[in-house]
């Protein structure tokens, strides 16, 4: 019903679980992920197992080795249940086999592009999922499926053996039910990889005993004004004020975010140039105006001068963003409706998305896809807020996320599937 796995790997799962049981029984414990089941987004390579990128032209693609993330989780003793769905070539929640569904309301999509990891984890089919984000693909399905999703700092997690969409933006991270679980997964994934040209050698630490009172949390009050801000978002802000941290009002400067946002279009068109020139992009299921086939073609008209000037400007915005985040330990706000999602993806700062509460909404259609049964009925579905920090401060994000979950008291509720 949820269409959240492209491929299930029971043989591998049983073998890895058996090994974990034997190792733990003999006293060899690899760590907190030893024996824990997970699903990995089907754009990370798995040896001798199809890795399809969710797209028709690559349905028969079978790698000859595991991607770095799969290797690291294997070394940590985690148990791979299978490959979770993604929107074709990491766009949306529609893949060659259908549309991945939200377990809170199966009449709507799970959002994308890490749709399968979001849906499967929320439904309790696995303990955590591995997602990727270029521009919202961890944040959006974490929001839709009611998860705590962590998009790490750019360069922290190796992308070797993962589909390249945009080399200067692509990031890999965990999607879990609780904020603190992300620290356990990220600790296993963190590390420098000389084969990833964007990899950065930076350690990861998380102190589960650090009091929130040690931290300063900032928010821009304009983000909480207006009729489009949900009651859950405002209630989450009040909960933040009760945590015991120092809370400050700050103002996001007027940064030229739209002017630096051309990288995704240009780099993705370059990454899939062969697909475009071969005409095999016609095989992709989504052919609407803003879907990849047309976006790739349009990006070929971007001038080299304009692209280079945009990248020069992006460098300046990175410095400005660093100064903005240096004011506080954590920045807090709605997951959507502010410039923060785009800004931090282009500047590399990490983000933790946390369940804030619930709303009653009619089934939502991502990018207006007609397969969603938008029948006008109201469904109770989760909604989120997000936490951002300066580069490589994920431990502080988890500290505040854990405290906020405890204060709000909404994170333990699970979806009920009929």
137 is catalytic: yes
C-alpha to C-alpha distances, 249 to 68, 143, 330, 331, nearest whole angstrom: 40, 24, 12, 10
Please report, for residues 58, 186, 314, 349, 379, the alpha-carbon distance to residue 344 in angstroms, rounded to integers and kept in the order given. Answer: 31, 19, 11, 5, 31
Q: How far apart are CA 99 and CA 115, in angstroms?
A: 9
**Separation between Cα atoms, residue 365 and residue 112, nearest integer Å:** 11
Contact 82, 8 (CB under 8 A): yes
Interatomic CA distance for residues 396 and 351, integer angstroms: 11
For residues 114 and 41, is the Cβ–Cβ distance under 8 A?
yes
CB 100 within 8 Å of CB 141: no
Omega within 30 of 0 (cis) for the link into 113: yes
- Determine if residue 288 is left, alpha or beta; phi over 0 gives left, psi from -120 to 50 gives alpha, anything else beta: beta
Tell me which of 111, 137, 268, 335 is the catalytic residue: 137
Q: Which of 113, 268, 310, 335 is catalytic?
A: 113
d(CA 5, CA 338): 32
Q: Clarify whether 41 is annotated catalytic.
A: yes
Spatial CA neighbour of 44 closest among 77, 2, 74, 3: 74
CA atoms of 86 and 169, how far apart (whole Å): 18
- Whether 113 is a known active-site residue: answer yes
Q: How many CB atoms sit inside 10 A of residue 103's CB?
A: 25
Dihedral sign, Cα of residue 312, residue 317, residue 323, residue 329: negative
Q: Per this entry, what is the length of the chain?
A: 418
From the candidates 41, 83, 171, 396, which is the catalytic residue?
Answer: 41
Catalytic residues: 41, 113, 137
């Amino acid at each position: 019903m949820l269409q959240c796995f492209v491929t299930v790997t029971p043989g591998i799962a049983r073998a890895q679980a058996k090994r974990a049981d034997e190792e733990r029984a003999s006293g060899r414990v690899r760590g907190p992920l030893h024996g824990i089941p997970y699903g990995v987004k089907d754009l990370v390579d798995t040896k001798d197992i199809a890795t399809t990128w969710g797209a028709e032209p690559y349905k028969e693609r079978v790698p000859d080795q595991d991607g770095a993330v799969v290797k690291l989780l294997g070394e940590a003793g985690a148990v791979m249940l299978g490959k979770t769905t993604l929107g074709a070539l990491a766009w949306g929640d529609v893949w060659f086999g259908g549309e991945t569904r939200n377990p809170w309301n199966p009449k709507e999509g799970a959002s994308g592009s890490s749709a399968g990891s979001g849906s499967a984890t929320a439904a309790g089919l696995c303990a955590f999922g591995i997602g990727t984000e270029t521009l919202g693909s961890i944040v959006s399905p974490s929001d839709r499926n009611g998860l705590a999703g962590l998009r790490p700092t750019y360069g922290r997690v190796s992308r070797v053996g993962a589909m390249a969409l945009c080399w200067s933006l692509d990031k890999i991270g965990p999607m879990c039910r609780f904020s603190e679980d992300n620290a356990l997964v990220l600790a296993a994934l963190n590390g420098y990889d000389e084969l990833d040209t964007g990899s950065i050698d930076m350690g990861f630490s998380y102190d589960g005993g650090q009091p929130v009172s040690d931290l300063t949390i900032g928010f821009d009050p304009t983000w909480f004004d207006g009729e489009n801000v949900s009651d859950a978002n405002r209630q989450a802000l009040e909960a933040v004020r009760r945590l015991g941290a120092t809370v400050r009002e700050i103002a996001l400067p007027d940064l030229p975010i739209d002017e630096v946002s051309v990288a995704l279009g240009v780099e993705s068109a370059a990454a899939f140039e062969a697909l475009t020139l071969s005409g095999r992009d016609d095989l992709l299921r989504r052919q609407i105006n803003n879907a990849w086939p047309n976006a790739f073609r349009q990006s070929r008209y971007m001038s080299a001068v304009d692209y280079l000037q945009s990248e020069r400007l992006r460098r300046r915005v990175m410095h400005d963003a660093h100064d903005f985040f240096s004011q506080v330990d954590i920045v807090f706000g709605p997951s959507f409706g502010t410039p923060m999602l785009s800004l931090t993806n282009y500047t590399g700062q990490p983000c933790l998305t946390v369940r804030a509460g619930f709303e009653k909404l009619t089934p939502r259609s991502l990018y207006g896809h007609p397969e969603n049964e938008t029948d006008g009925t109201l469904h109770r579905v989760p909604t989120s807020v997000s936490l951002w920090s300066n580069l490589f401060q994920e431990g502080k994000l988890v500290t505040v996320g854990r405290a906020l979950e405890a204060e709000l008291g909404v994170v333990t509720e699970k979806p009920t599937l009929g």
